[in-house]
Amino acid sequence: MTDPFVHVESVEKRWNGQLGVEDISLSIPRGSFVALLGPSGCGKSTTLRLLAGLEVPDSGRIIIGGRDVTASPAAERGLSMVFQSYALFPHLDVAENVLFGLKVRRVPRAEQREKLAQALEMTGLTGLEKRKPGQISGGQRQRVALARAIVAGHPLCLMDEPLSNLDAKLRHSVRRDIKKLQRDLGMTVIYVTHDQTEAMSMADMVVLMKDGRIEQFGRPVDLYETPASIFVAEFVGSPPMALVESGVMPAELERSDKQVVYGIRPEHLDLAEPGAGLLQAVITHCEYMGSETFLSFEVPGTSGLTVRLPGEVRRSVGEAAGLTFDRANLHVFDKNTGYRLPR
């Protein structure tokens, strides 16, 4: 196995004794797209700032491209950043914003023109060179920030919630743009987001964080199909995995060796006639989404169950139904630790 391009080894950071991140270890291959995912305050932005050199860790090491940069300033780490706020100069036009870093580094003008033309074409900004940030849309401003990262030519790009200021339709479009640019340029991207859709659809690997620690690091499919803990099971997936307490399941499915919590994904549940199936429930909500219908159920001893069914399903709130599933799709977690158990 080749050495990782970005290697984080047992990094910790605290402020006045308050936890920022603790025991963060990551190995990221060159050319990969890694998402740092988690709720507010989980440590994902702190991790990114440590990688960027905007914060210095209290302990541990950060290695980028085989070089220990733990104590190096941001300017010496060979990386670019794309921020949530775009960070554009309002008095400079698009071309001047894109080229700002190259001008500071006194890159020859011919090379500047060549890189500018390439970056504008890749980001769909050709023809907007002379417009100021206030004269273009939010999506275009974010593309200017991407173009600036492209012309920098660094192999590592850090992105801090870059799509948060965009509406839902525009986020989808720019998401595809970012992923295509990353593939075309062969950049290594580390991308902070609280939006699981962004992480799952864009990233090769996802780092899900909780309370300053890494809860699970793996492919999106690994987090969805084999969540390492109850936290992962509930955070990843929309609607989230339903959780069922011990004593609610039929006796033949219950474990007797320890207290457990069972989990089942909405697409693995199916309807049965009232009185049949493995669980009995009452419909509390119907949500038709076009290609599928979500039926929510109230079941004592559960977090609430949602069934995902294809197409339109005509059912009424208050109606009783049985629920069934294949036991092979059941996830089992230790109730005390919250972590996954073998079936």
Place of tokens 């290695």: 63
The tens digit of pLDDT for each residue in 178-199 reads: 888 889 889 999 999 999 999 9
The tens digit of pLDDT for each residue in 215-247 reads: 999 999 999 999 999 999 999 998 889 998 888
CA-closest candidate to residue 308, choices 271, 281, 274: 271
Q: What angle do CA 214, 219, 221 make, to 5 degrees?
A: 115
**Out of 162-166, 295-299, 307-311, 317-321, which region has the weakest mean confidence (pLDDT)?**
162-166
Burial string for 101-117 (b: 16+ CB within 10 Å, else e) reads bbeeeeeeeeebeebbe
Higher-confidence position of 11 and 249: 11
The Cα-based distances of 142 to 6, 171, 203, 236 in angstroms read 25, 10, 19, 27
Higher-confidence position of 259 and 255: 259
**Which pLDDT score is estimated for 124?**
83
The tens digit of pLDDT for each residue in 94-118 reads: 999 999 888 888 888 898 888 888 8
Residue 269: CB partners within 8 Å, gap ≥ 6? 242, 305, 306, 307, 308, 323, 324, 325
**Which pLDDT score is estimated for 105?**
84
Average pLDDT in the chain: 90
Q: Which residue type is seen at 38?
A: G
Q: Tell me the H-state helices in 226-336.
A: 230-235
CA-closest candidate to residue 287, choices 326, 320, 317: 317
CA-closest candidate to residue 192, choices 88, 86, 32, 84: 84
**Residues 40-63: what's their mean pLDDT?**
94
Residue 284: CB partners within 8 Å, gap ≥ 6? 296, 297, 298, 304, 317
pLDDT at 282 exceeding the cut of 50: yes
The tens digit of pLDDT for each residue in 125-177 reads: 888 889 999 898 888 888 888 888 888 888 999 999 888 777 777 788 888 88
Domains along the chain with CATH numbers: 6-230 (3.40.50.300), 239-341 (2.40.50.140)
For 147-275, list the strands marked E by DSSP.
Answer: 156-160, 188-193, 205-210, 213-218, 242-245, 260-264, 269-272
Q: Which residues pair with 324 in a beta bridge?
A: 270
Q: Would you give the distance in Å from CA 64 to the centre of its chain? A: 22
With cut-offs at 50, 70 and 90, classify the pLDDT of residue 263: very high
**Which pLDDT score is estimated for 2?**
61
Helix or strand run (H / E) with residue 111: helix 109-122
pLDDT at 1 exceeding the cut of 70: no
Considering the entire predicted model, what is its pTM?
Answer: 0.88
Higher-confidence position of 133 and 85: 133
Q: Is 321 helix (H, G, I), strand (E, B) or coil?
A: strand
| The 305-310 sheet, strands edge to edge | 269-272, 320-325, 279-288, 292-298, 305-310
